[in-house]
Amino acid sequence: MLKSARIAVFVSGGGTNLQALLDAQRDGKIPHGEIALVISSQACAYALERAEKANVPAHTVPSSLIQHDFEAAIELLLEQYKIDVIVLAGFLSILSENFTKKWPRRILNIHPSLIPSFCGRGMYGLKVHEAALARGVKVTGATVHFVNEIPDGGEIILQKAVEIEGATRPRPLQRRVMEQAEWKLRRARRSLSAAPSQKRRTEMVDFLHFLKNTSYPGRGILVGKDRVYYFIMGRSENSRNRVFVKTDDGIRTEAFDPAKLADPSLIIYHPVRTMGSDLVVTNGDQTNTICAHGDFRRGLMTREYEPDEPNWTPRISAIVHEDGSFEMSILKHNDGRCLREFFCYEGCDADKAYFISTYQGDGTPLPTFAGEPMEVSVPSPEEVWDALNEDNKVSLYANMNGEVKLFNKNLGD
């Protein structure tokens, strides 16, 4: 029997979108999701009455609180009601990066424009439609997107366009966008609030989609039951001039053309080594540090991010124990200091894995991976290799229950 994902709906006003979700739940149109909580930033919001009539627990967390206290109160409610997914439905408060990074790809919002047009801080409600009319655009619409620390800046999931068709006032345009776009997209958004067993396949598609649509995730580690993947990518000629070669206790990187090797300091290292019955995999020479200390955490407490300003490339690491449990870590730059994050897992099902990369997209500087490792379904190493950007991929290591397979672009793999 499928377990329903528990959904929290955040509101600030009348709750029209909330009502549509409640009606859909009543009509059985959210088969794998359950609206388990409503949180309002305003005590007078009519949305609270809608929740009460539907017998859904509702709480007010006033937006007048300072940001830390506001989000801390929300987090307590989310933990109390065991929430899996957050849906923003006319929620006017901005969530901080500290909050959103704890809910990667689990906070969704519909914005009433075609992002990146008429969006960002201060763009909500009628203001969006007023701006569209003032600009004289011929087409507007709505966007479903994941939420991150940038207002309306998260990954776009779905969009639907709406013709302006001579509209001259914001309220009629708002209604048209709601009827022709928002309500239709809402049905698609509901399908993303899937039960955990259904969610796994969705997340696998998202993982491969992430790789295919991220030109430079840098270096990545995936750990699952009886398998470990590690890939490297490169943007410079020096970084791309590498191959993986096997060693007695793992693999090392090596210059494909030694004559073209410029600076080996951050690109030539021993990423995978055995340490007793454990397997250590990292994106740098911290592998040797861990093995020298004989302890994953103790070794990493002596290391920090790479000194490649302005990117400050994080060091990502994992250790897999003989009993199937494992740990993952990221050492990242944080206001001139090193933030060391550790994530421990007792193991996982055969069809599940966890993934972490140095970066989560392209940019200047490159954006550091944020949040917990991504929970994904297990793709084959061939799928991962094919999904990596053709120009930037360099090598992939795949260990499947002790059987090692290497992919090297420079060797024609």
Q: What is the pLDDT of residues 28-60, one digit of tens each?
A: 777 678 899 999 998 888 899 999 999 999 999
pLDDT greater than 50 at residue 220? yes
Comparing 368 with 197, the larger pLDDT belongs to 368
Q: Give yes or no for a cis peptide into 381 (omega within 30° of 0).
A: no
All residues at 6 or more sequence positions from 179 whose CB lies less than 8 Å from its CB, including other chains: none
Q: Give yes or no for a cis peptide into 314 (omega within 30° of 0).
A: no
Residue 377 to residue 380: CA distance in whole angstroms = 10
Task: Name the residue among 376, 285, 282, 287 with its Cα closest to residue 330.
Answer: 282
Residue 64 to residue 62: CA distance in whole angstroms = 5
Residue 180 to residue 381: CA distance in whole angstroms = 42
Which of 103-117, 190-204, 265-279, 332-346 shows the lowest per-residue confidence on average (mean pLDDT)?
A: 190-204
Band (366; pLDDT cuts 50, 70, 90): confident
* Alpha carbons within 13 A on the beta-carbon side of 197: 6
Band (203; pLDDT cuts 50, 70, 90): very low
Residue 260 to residue 81: CA distance in whole angstroms = 58
The confidence score (pLDDT) of residue 373 equals: 86
Burial class (CB in 10 A: 0-12, 13-18, 19+), 164: middle
Query: How many C-beta atoms surround the C-beta of residue 12 within 10 A?
Result: 20
Name the residues annotated as catalytic. Answer: 111
Quote the tokens at residue 238.
């020096």
Band (231; pLDDT cuts 50, 70, 90): very high
- Exposed e or buried b per residue across 294-330, where buried means at least 16 C-beta atoms within 10 angstroms of its C-beta: eebeebbeebbbbeeeebbbbbbbbbbeeeeebbbbb
Q: Which residues are registered as beta bridge partners of 339?
A: 332
The confidence score (pLDDT) of residue 197 equals: 38
